[in-house]
Amino acid sequence: MTVPRDTHKADRVGMVGVARLLSNVISPPIMFALTGLALGVHARPFWPGLAWGALYSALIALTPMLVVAYLMRTGRVTDLHMSATNERHIPYLTAVISGAVAFVILRFFDGPELLRCLAILSVITLGMLGLINTRWLISIHATAAAATWLIAALIFGWVVGLVLLPLLILIAWIRLYLKRHTPPQVLAGITLGLSAVLIMRALGCFLP
């Protein structure tokens, strides 16, 4: 396995440092959290929509991030990016459970339909990533970036999609530049993210 460029602290300077910072900031939980907030506000009046979006974001993003922080503190995860596939099992399981809990709350308390769809998407994609992860290291960054980009384009229009497209390309490039993933792993992640959204769209989700 290729050693990532940012493995050692001494290497996290210059372009490597910038790329690592961007990779941490534009992380999958953050991408889904921001998408949840945007869809909540889009689906309902501002404050109720923001509250629903914040609830979704807390469950789908904050909970898994806290679990990862705990695993790092206890030594069961050595790096935030978890390049070792065996370190990803608990975070994936936590994220799937969090997505399921989010859907149940949204379903039974009449939350926005767009957020219900997003919760289902979270469970499906994270479940698939978790299964693939048992055999192969697929890029969750690429999956999340592709899925959230396509959702934004479908809901808010293709002008927004074109504006955000460079961000998707940037995220893919960063993961390759840092040598956290190979081109096939990034392409597989993008394919999974796009396919999951398109399938759910065909089933009636993510309609503007």
Is the pTM higher than 0.75? The answer reads yes
In this prediction, residues 65-71 reach a mean pLDDT of 84
Contacts of 18 (CB under 8 A, 6+ apart): none
When the pLDDT of each residue in the chain is averaged and rounded to a whole number, the result is 91
CA angle 84, 90, 95 (to 5 degrees): 115
Q: Is the pLDDT of residue 12 over 90?
A: no
Choose the most confident range, by mean pLDDT, from 89-103, 104-118, 125-139.
Answer: 104-118
Q: How confident is the model at residue 82 (pLDDT cuts 50, 70, 90)?
A: low
Encoded amino acid at 144, one letter: A
pLDDT exceeds cutoff 90 at 9 = no
Domain ranges of the chain: 9-202
Q: Which of 175, 154, 149 shows the shortest CA–CA distance to 164?
A: 149
User: What Cα–Cα distance (Å) separates residue 45 from each residue in 51, 137, 195?
Assistant: 10, 41, 30
